[in-house]
Structure 1
Amino acid sequence: MVMAKDEKELLSKMASLLKSGATMLDMMCPTCKVPLFKLKSGEVVCPKCGQRFVIVSSDEEESRVKADMVLSSLEQAAVQKINSLIMPLSTSETFEELTEIGRALITLLQVIQLSRQIRGAEKGVAEKGK
């Protein structure tokens, strides 16, 4: 039986993961239909497409993980917006411009702070449930 180049590369990657201490799971990648691997770091990855997965044991845990991911994305977006306001802040020439940028910065910082508070509260609830 002759193996295609792609199949050889995949098998080589899977073998490399096993050699590095990863564990092959009994779950398949929904996209690639190949076994998922749990790395030593705890991350779960597909060796073919590289997609990362979070394995949950209940609907409640899935909801918490999804909420955490959404809030994390929100924080990243807010940080990017803050970064984009640095130049206008340093070049603004009027009090009105400074005030407008300042309000935007305060709002973005509040978004980050609230997101982190919510994520912290969610983690506390999750840990109490264990």
Structure 2
Amino acid sequence: MTDTVHILGEGGGIFELSLPLHETIADKLAKGHLRRVQPDGTPFVEGDRPEGVPALPESRPALNAVKAEWVGWAVVQGLKPDEAEALTKADLIERFGAGQEPEGNPDGSEGAAPEGTPEGTPAE
């Protein structure tokens, strides 16, 4: 038996798609343009997700994550998919990632501290 998922399309139609999903469809799911639904169109309740079916992120992506992940995060935060897609990755990070950096370096990396003025030292 082939695994399938039901997707609510951009025009409101419900489509049953075989897995693995085409990369274009997977990208649109990740960005929030499409949504996974039950066969009758009711919202899909997350549970066992078949392999190859992306979801919107549940937490802020890493700063070095691809733009698609940041678009998805912006959609989770309430921005419309088209509006999120129109922003640059830097704009998305500034708007939806500022002040939420993980502990350590601002870029989320480990190792040496970033170049610049050490914390607690006034800038010249």
- Could you tell me the TM-score, scaled by structure 1's length? 0.26
- Could you tell me the TM-score, scaled by structure 2's length? 0.26
Pick the structure with greater CA Rg: 1
